[in-house]
Amino acid sequence: MLELYHFDRSTAAQKIRIALAEKELEWISHYIDTSFSKRDQHDPEYLELNPRGVVPTLVHDGKVIRESQIILEYIEDAFPEPPLRPADSHERARMRLWTKRVDEGLHVDSRTVGQCIAMRFAAREAAPALVKRHYEVMPEEVRRDNDLINNEKGVDSPLLPGALRRFKKTFHEIDAALAEAQWLAGETYSLADISLVVYVSRLDSFQMTPLWHELKRLRDWQARIKLRPAYVAAVEEWGDTTSAKRVELGNQALPKVKTLWAAA
């Protein structure tokens, strides 16, 4: 039995749902409400499963697996068909060079962009006592410290230019890689594509697509993935509780972000 602790708009959770859908695996959903009023991720019961207080967490026949990139590899090991890793050893190494980027900083940068553009407004609209408690009990110190800076400064955060610079570099490198092959690791759709596409879509949800309008191969790659039934089931059908607000706030932030992107 597979159980997934997750929530709709989490990029880390989206990756896992895509992989599960690609393999047509059945799973039990445990929705973690991360709002300031609920804070399910900080419940003692959940922290026993995931001491970092983040999603996703996969439980397979009672065994707990944490961290999205590790969960993806676990799913591939436990359920190898259909394969989401290339058979060729060199292409498999290429795949892992891409997936490694997520834990090297891309995921943190994604949260910075999201907080600065839109998500900080949830903290502004919530009761101050709830926000204070949320950050007091947050196990992840780096996440907490970054959030406090980004929530206060928004698009003027000192963390935003670096995050955008690294995203711009990654997006250009994705576009260049796709000049050589259909997918990031070669001719096989793989965990590399699943791991990276959610971050393109994340920035897309904040109305940032004009920033990379010239990267035609990247845009085509994202469009091809979004047509896959697994992506539709794992991302689009889950919806996004903040989508309307993201559009509004993303459009407001775009002029400033464009300037930072151009300077990156």
Per-residue model confidence as pLDDT tens digits over 59-90: 999 999 999 999 999 999 999 999 999 999 99
**Fold of domain 89-263:** Glutathione S-transferase Yfyf (Class Pi); Chain A, domain 2 (1.20.1050)
Tracing tokens 């709709």 back to the chain, one arrives at 8
pTM: predicted TM-score of the whole model, two decimal places = 0.96
Phi/psi of residue 59, nearest 5 degrees = -120, 120
pLDDT band, residue 121 (cuts 50/70/90): confident
Residue 131: Cβ within 10 Å count: 18
CATH architecture of 2-78: 3-Layer(aba) Sandwich (3.40)
Q: 245 to each of 110, 121, 205, how far by Cα in Å?
A: 17, 9, 10
- Diameter of the chain by CA atoms? 54
pLDDT higher at 258 or 240? 258
Q: Is it the case that residue 126 has pLDDT exceeding 90? A: no
Please state the rounded mean pLDDT for residues 108-133.
91
Residue ranges covered by each domain of the chain: 2-78, 89-263
| Per-residue pLDDT tens over the stretch 136-168 | 899 999 999 999 999 999 999 999 999 999 999
What kind and span of H or E run contains 66?
strand 63-66
Q: Calculate helix-pair angle for 11-22, 68-78, nearest 10 degrees.
A: 10
How open is the CA angle 145-149-150, to the nearest 5 degrees? 115
| Per-residue pLDDT tens over the stretch 244-257 | 888 999 999 999 99
**Residue type at position 253:** A
State the burial class of residue 31 (Cβ atoms within 10 Å of its Cβ: 0-12, 13-18, 19+): middle
DSSP SS3 for 242? coil
Quick one: pLDDT at residue 40?
Answer: 83
Residues whose CB falls within 8 Å of the CB of residue 61, separated by 6 or more in sequence, listed in order: 1
DSSP SS3 for 207? coil
Q: State both tokens at 89.
A: 């050893």
| CA-closest candidate to residue 207, choices 155, 263, 165, 148 | 155
Residue 124: Cβ within 10 Å count: 11
Q: Is it the case that residue 231 has pLDDT exceeding 90? A: yes
Quick one: pLDDT at residue 239?
Answer: 84
Share of the chain above pLDDT 90, in %: 86
| CA-closest candidate to residue 18, choices 219, 216, 181, 189 | 189
Torsion over CA: 89, 95, 98, 104 (sign): negative
Q: State both tokens at 13.
A: 């959770």
Phi/psi of residue 115, nearest 5 degrees = -65, -45
